[in-house]
Amino acid sequence: MANNGHTHPNGNGHHDDLYTIAEQITTQEFEALDAQTLARLSEPDEAELARKTIIEDAVRLILTNVGEDPERDGLQRTPQRVAKMYDELLAGYGQDVKTIINNAMFEVEYGEGEMVVVAHIDYTSMCEHHMLPFTGQAHIAYIPRNKVVGLSKIPRIVDMFARRLQVQERLTSQIADALEEHLDPLGVMVVVEGQHSCAALRGVKKHGVNMVTTAKRGAFRTDAALRDEFYRLARI
């Protein structure tokens, strides 16, 4: 569903929740909501507050055990900032593919065997081994059976899986599996490139290493010409 002209606010997760609510109601209904009602809808519930408190306490414990004073200037609000950061970087746990697509599937007359390519989708994820970020781009192609999905939905699906504790191999497969399940295409292919800070900052300490993972479903498994066409169109 279109967002009826309402922009997605940047910032904390409460605004994200409010945006989700706004997407599900009509413009008239949204305009009828008064400021007090909007504020109530965006208030965090007790479970969310408790979860954030646990994270903040854990950060204070880490700071203390690495030899820092969590009460000194510069660190007093670090636990809250870290909790908010995790809300943003790990927001994918509170999302699902069906809600993201939100019936934005359209029947089209499209040539048999023709593909749709959405390339160079930026993402940020969190390595599950060291909880350090890795970043990169995802490139996706699918061959519609008789329906296509709204363009914005594919990057949102990438973000949903990326904003979880991940390894790049699983991230790639999850994107491919979700598109295959919900789009029912003749084929799907996903290529993910990633640069991992855990490899740059610790261990091997090598900068600029680019990891590439692929997932092929349906026609892309067996048809090398389709794969070559995807690589050419995506310019990867």
User: Is 207 designated active site?
Assistant: no
User: Is 8 designated active site?
Assistant: no
Q: Looking at 166, 168, 169, 180, which residue is catalytic? A: 168
Q: What does the DSSP assignment read for 22-33?
A: HHTS-HHHHHHS
Q: Looking at 95, 127, 166, 174, which residue is catalytic? A: 127
- Name the nearest CA neighbour of 137 among 187, 175, 99, 165: 175
Token pair of 233 as six digits: 């169109």
User: Is 180 designated active site?
Assistant: no
Q: Looking at 130, 169, 180, 182, which residue is catalytic? A: 130
Q: Looking at 31, 114, 128, 181, which residue is catalytic? A: 128
User: Is 127 designated active site?
Assistant: yes
Q: Looking at 14, 88, 198, 229, which residue is catalytic? A: 198
Q: Looking at 139, 166, 174, 196, which residue is catalytic? A: 196
User: Is 107 designated active site?
Assistant: no
d(CA 187, CA 168) in angstroms, rounded, equals 21
User: Is 128 designated active site?
Assistant: yes
User: Is 120 designated active site?
Assistant: no
Indicate which residues carry an active-site annotation.
Answer: 127-130, 168, 196, 198
